[in-house]
Structure 1
Amino acid sequence: MNMDIMNAIKASTFTAARSMMLEGEIGSIEKGKYADIIIWNINRVEQIPYMVTDQPIQCVYKKRYACIYSLIVLHTKV
């Protein structure tokens, strides 16, 4: 794989938000934006580029709510 760690993280956050024209609301951690967090189950950071395409989505946040394994939880802006 020709993607380094930082580009893999950027592809999963900022670039993804930008492709959906939502970079003003999500995609980076800034005041006034909704939190954009990725959690991978890995042992070393060098595995991150491989997680971009190999991991199924387990959680999707929308506005103030998230669906995690059929549970609803609240989150707030940073």
Structure 2
Amino acid sequence: LALLRHQASVGGVNIVAQWLQQTRGLRAGYIQMSVDVLVVLTAFAVVPPERVLQSVVGAVAIGAILTLNHRPGRYLGV
């Protein structure tokens, strides 16, 4: 969250999502979520379902922590 607000990235899909948001007006969060869902669905083809579900639970837990600790205006990229 802090990286996106400062228009920074760790690479990968993040860069493409930010570029699409800036040039096309698409929301970076939706793009990132779409790619994440595709990765998880693809994982079902190569990883045991229990492991994929464990990964999803972990991602939801991290998302919940970020959501609970987020404060509007905390990470202003000025």
- Specify the TM-score bucket, using the shorter chain as the normaliser: under 0.3
Structure showing the higher strand proportion among its residues: 1
Larger proportion of helix: 2
Larger gyration radius, structure 1 or structure 2: 2
Q: Normalized against structure 2, the TM-score is what?
A: 0.25
TM-score normalised by L of structure 1: 0.25
